[in-house]
Amino acid sequence: MIVIHHLNNSRSQRVLWLLEELGVPYEIRRYERLPSLAAPPELKAVHPLGKSPVLTDGDLTLAETGAIVAYIAETYGGGRFQPTPDTADWWRMQHFLHHAEGSAMPPLFMKLVFARIPSQAPFPIRPVAKALMRGVDAKLLKPRLAELLDYWDEALAKTGWFAGLEPTLADVMMSFPLEAAGSRIGFDGRRNLSAFVERIHARPAYRAALEKGGPYAYA
């Protein structure tokens, strides 16, 4: 039986969504974020990095969402949620599988961390910290994030999905960056992005995953 080590309000939610779409049985082991938002130390007993999600299945312990969704689809998916191997859509799916965590999430994570720095700085230097963060945001993060939003908007323009005519692992992986972007910076009128988020949130499997996963701030 697959076990998903699941942290509340986290990118682990998309693994539950995939499992629901595929109708694969699984068990959830829940972990609650600490007040600092870090994962609790118990997760380190499951995987040395102590991040979520982690999948365990028999002797296998697997971290990294991209590897986890690929494992689930390959082992239990029977070809579902993947385009035909070696086609252009299949490679497009591979691109977004890596893009989601490799290129999309880092600036979104930076946005979250930088936004918190001023309030956590010692009181006397708060104005300086605020000014510094505003500069970093304007010069570095804003343009980089706008470029990413445009790229995703264009990628969704043809079919509404990231890799072909049907939802695939690309959409599962990209769901979290889009949800996080929607809540942290907004889509600024990019209709394909809001339509994508609405479309996935309306899927019965997504709703079922939400019910099982517990608190999730992005849906």
Is residue 52 close enough to count as binding ligand GSH by CB under 6 A? yes
Is residue 39 close enough to count as binding ligand GSH by CB under 6 A? yes
Is residue 38 close enough to count as binding ligand GSH by CB under 6 A? yes
Is residue 13 close enough to count as binding ligand GSH by CB under 6 A? no
CB of 52 to ligand GSH, least distance (A): 4
CB of 5 to ligand GSH, least distance (A): 10
Is residue 175 close enough to count as binding ligand GSH by CB under 6 A? no
Binding flags for ligand GSH, 94-133, as an x/- string (CB under 6 A): -------x--------------------------------
Instruction: Name 54's bridge partners.
Output: 5, 63
Measured CA to CA, the distance from residue 99 to residue 154 in angstroms comes to 15
- Return the residues of window 199-218 that contact ligand GSH according to CB under 6 A: none
- Return the residues of window 57-86 that contact ligand GSH according to CB under 6 A: 64-65
Is residue 169 close enough to count as binding ligand GSH by CB under 6 A? no
CB of 176 to ligand GSH, least distance (A): 8
Is residue 168 close enough to count as binding ligand GSH by CB under 6 A? no
